[in-house]
Amino acid sequence: MRQSVTSSTADAGTPAAAPHHPRALAAAALAALGVVFGDIGTSPLYALKTVFLLDGGAVRPTQDDVFGVVSLMFWSITIIVSIKYLGILMRADNDGEGGVMALAALAQRLYASRAGKAGILLVIGIVGVSLFYGDSIITPAISVLSAVEGLHVTIPAISHLVIPIAAVIIISLFAVQRFGTGKVGVLFGPVMVLWFVVMAVAGVAMVVQYPAVLLGLSPTYAVVFIVSHPVISFIALGAVVLVITGAEALYADMGHFGRSPIRRAWFVLVLPALTLNYLGQAALILHDPSARSNPFFLLFPEWSRLPVVILATAATVIASQAVISGAYSLSRQAVQLGLLPPLTVRQTSEREGGQIYLPAVNTLLFIGVMAVMLAFGSSDRLSTAYGISVTGALVVDTLLLLLVARPLWNWAPWKIVIAAVVFGGLELAFLAGNLSKIINGGWVPLLIAAAVILVMTTWRRGRQLVQQDRKRKEGSLSEFIDNLREQNLPRVPGVAVFPHPNKDTTPLALRANVKHNHVLHEHVIIVSISIAQVPHVPTSEAFAYDDLGYADDGIEHLSISFGFSDEPDIPRALRAACRAGALPLDPSDFPRASYFISRGAIRTTRAKGMVRWRRSLFVALAHNAADPAARFGLPPLRTVTMGSDVEI
């Protein structure tokens, strides 16, 4: 039977709600500045410079070309970021959470009655997640490199130290991840405020000298540029897209800060600062065409360039931290949705559930970032690899948006068509412009995405095959309990907890314990964990209790539902279930409870269902998966692993 529980979620996470008090709203907006806008906020370091370096200088420093590029940049930011993400997509939240994983889960819920479409939505989500990992590797490399490359302008004599300095920063950045970002996070907001103010002031100073550059905000210049130079504008799109890198973060971090703080920070400070800085760089290039080699740093007076390099480096570290933290959160969600093997997750804050550290993800990201940075050697060369992952993620979000718009908001077909043409058309143009860069480095994010897709699909299919074999060996739980009642085994005091996927089959550890030890605990609780396709599950919906047909045998089943952003801590959840009245035991019983994990070796076979090399990959992934005891928060000294081998 399903218990109805009305107590508060003391042990469960809840999505961040948007604050309503003006002071709280301002504080949340400041915090959002330090996390959400790092990536898009540092794009002025390399975006406009990259446009004028493409294809040997195909875009010329003439008024028509400069105004055309600035117009493309401004309206790309307006359409994609201001309208699509902040105006529309932020309304498509999954229990307060955003991001491609949450959006895909929301779409699956909306189309749950259509099995075929739900499967397609899962594939789309996997592609979006995979592209995000490519972004997570390239962003720290290009951001830090572009900031340190300011030394080319400020202190040319030490230009040869750019790569070593950037490498030291990257090493330090990943080395401190294990300590968490809570202590230094309070500095992120003020640093980014200073960064945006400095960018705005530098841009205003140049715009005041050359106010005609404001004409570049007119969309007519973008249209004229595209019509008069179709080939050159197509090439330019591959770099213009760099101005919207990090747009996904605005949506993905919605659950941490709420819609209102992010929107206010964007429209009050970030958007004006970015616009003014791009206009200032454009005016500088018109005034001095040689400045297109590095218009951002040349925008500042010579005396201020070194401090700006230091500030830019701090801003890029913050931008990198944001995308690394996003990779951690996304990986945990993927694990809980069954798309990745269990990973060790360490909580780095006692109060903030979102502050986590995943050692395996951290190591892989570090190796990837260092590899691409050393291989490409400069932000100019690395920018050729950057755009594909960004535009691919944008297209995936738009596709999911079009799918959820009708069932979620009851959009008329004409609205969906307009959104598809405006958002999808622009993003597909960006994607097409970047596909031309595949041979020059664009293959890197595609290779990363392909590797992630392979791992996710292999793990998901392998789990299905393992579960089929385990189900055959486990046998019926009801029949097993009936046999136990006939055997009249001795009972020992205490509570034994057996994590198990369902209540239909028998945990292998329970079978092994009865077979070898010929004994049962006074209370046997079979616990089934499920991950709901929402970020958080309230206590009132988290537990379902079943006495398995006999109220007097002490063998019970409890289903626990976690959200994909919740920490699946079984002991804590059991105590919460007792306090809520969903489990007829005392919470004080569980500090002395024993936990039995059903786990055996996985052996590969030649059976149908998966090619042999993918079976071997699955076994390797399973071998390196995190210990279930650590994953479910089980006490090591009171946890026993036992069971039998399974085949795949």
Mean pLDDT of 361-377: 93
**CATH fold of 32-441:** Amino acid/polyamine transporter I (1.20.1740)
Of 237, 196, 145, the closest CA to residue 29 belongs to: 196
- Residue 572: the pLDDT is 92
How far is it between the farthest Cα atoms of the chain?
Answer: 94
Mean pLDDT of the 381-403 span = 86
What pLDDT, on the 0 to 100 scale, is given for residue 1? 34
DSSP code of 334? H
Radius of gyration of the chain (CA): 27
* pLDDT band at 68; cut points 50, 70, 90: very high
pLDDT value of position 544 = 93
How would residue 484 be classed by pLDDT, with cut points 50, 70 and 90?
A: confident
555 strand-pairing partners: 524
Kindly state the percentage of the chain with pLDDT values over 90. 37
The whole-number pLDDT of residue 255 equals 67
251's enclosing H/E stretch is helix 247-252
Which of the listed ranges 407-421, 439-453, 472-486, 607-621 does the model predict with the highest average pLDDT?
407-421
**Residues contacting residue 596 through CB under 8 Å, at least 6 positions apart:** 496, 497, 498, 507, 509, 510, 513, 639, 640, 641, 642
pLDDT in tens, 270-296: 999 999 999 999 999 999 999 998 999
Model confidence over 92-112: pLDDT tens digits?
877 667 778 778 888 888 887
DSSP annotation of 553 reads: S
Tell me: the pLDDT tens digits for 578-603?
999 999 888 888 888 999 998 767 77
pLDDT digit string, tens, across residues 12-35? 333 344 455 667 677 777 877 877
* pLDDT value for 55: 72
Binned at pLDDT 50, 70 and 90, residue 379 comes out as confident
Of the candidate ranges 207-211, 371-375, 409-413, 461-465, the one whose mean pLDDT is the lowest: 461-465
Q: Is the pTM of this model over 0.85?
A: no
Confidence of residue 209 (pLDDT cuts 50, 70, 90): very high
- Whether residue 628 has pLDDT greater than 70: yes
Q: Is the pLDDT of residue 198 over 50?
A: yes
Average pLDDT of the chain to the nearest whole number: 85
pLDDT at res. 284: 96
Average pLDDT value for residue range 368-378: 92
Looking at residue 466, what is its pLDDT? Answer: 84
| pLDDT value of residue 13 | 34
pLDDT over threshold 90, residue 420: yes
Residue 567 has pLDDT above 90, yes or no: no
Q: Give the whole-number percent of the chain exceeding pLDDT 70.
A: 92
| Residue 429 clears pLDDT 60, i.e. is over it | yes
Rounded distance, CA 238 to CA 224, Å? 18
C-alpha span between 497 and 516 (Å, rounded): 17
- Tell me the β-bridge partners of 602: 646
* Domain segments of the chain as ranges: 32-441, 463-647
Q: Residue 17 has what pLDDT?
A: 44
What are residue 554's phi and psi, to 5 degrees? 70, 10
115 — pLDDT class (breaks 50, 70, 90): low
Give the per-residue pLDDT at 330.
80
Strand 491-499, strand 520-532: pairing: parallel
Question: What is the enclosing helix (H) or strand (E) of 529?
Answer: strand 520-532
The answer on pLDDT for 329 being more than 90 is: no
Instruction: List Cα–Cα distances, 530 to 191, 336, 338, 564, 641, in angstroms.
Output: 41, 9, 10, 9, 21
Predicted pLDDT of residue 6? 30
User: What pLDDT band is residue 116 in, cutting at 50, 70 and 90?
Assistant: low
Provide the β-strand partners of residue 560: 529, 543
Residue 485: count of CB within 10 angstroms of its CB: 12
Of 531, 528, 529, the C-alpha closest to 557 is: 528
Question: With DSSP H G I counted as helix, E B as strand and the rest as coil, what are the percentages for the chain, rounded to 5?
Answer: 70, 10, 25
Amino acid 331: pLDDT:
86
C-beta of residue 463 within 8 angstroms of C-beta of residue 506:
no
